[in-house]
Amino acid sequence: MRALIQRVSEARVDVAGTTVGQIGPGLMILICAMQGDGELEADRLATKIAKLRIFRDAAGKMNLSVADMDGAALVVSQFTLAADTSRGNRPGFSQAAAPAEGERLYAYFARALADLGITVETGEFGAEMAVSMVNDGPVTIWLDTST
């Protein structure tokens, strides 16, 4: 699985003009299931993200996890993270999991993160979404379970 995470002071996702997910301080997580991914990868990624120490402590050092600071996560499906741009100018997405499996693993990942004690909001799988956020730092980190 691939994830792009951003430390945010706030984030929101709207579908057809209606807010479907919104958080205050925490993590904006764009997530993509890749071909061959399963629950093991989703669990590993959820655990890594929940423990990732990228929030400031009292001394201003990145030393706290989202769980430590009682933050939340906004999880949004993003199949374009599977983009292959190695040939030509039009990205290919054939490495992404099939839609049904991608949706299953997206929901599984969100539940796994919630089971780790993180408050989780989500977007709507497969929908045209308007995502807005205030990146805090900015801090943006790319994670891939295949590496």
Active-site residues, by number, are: 78-80
* Nearest one of 47, 20, 29, 18 to 140, comparing CA atoms: 29
Return the residue matching tokens 């989703």.
42
Reported residue count of the chain is 147
- Phi then psi dihedrals of residue 35, to 5 deg: -55, 135
- Phi then psi dihedrals of residue 70, to 5 deg: 55, 40
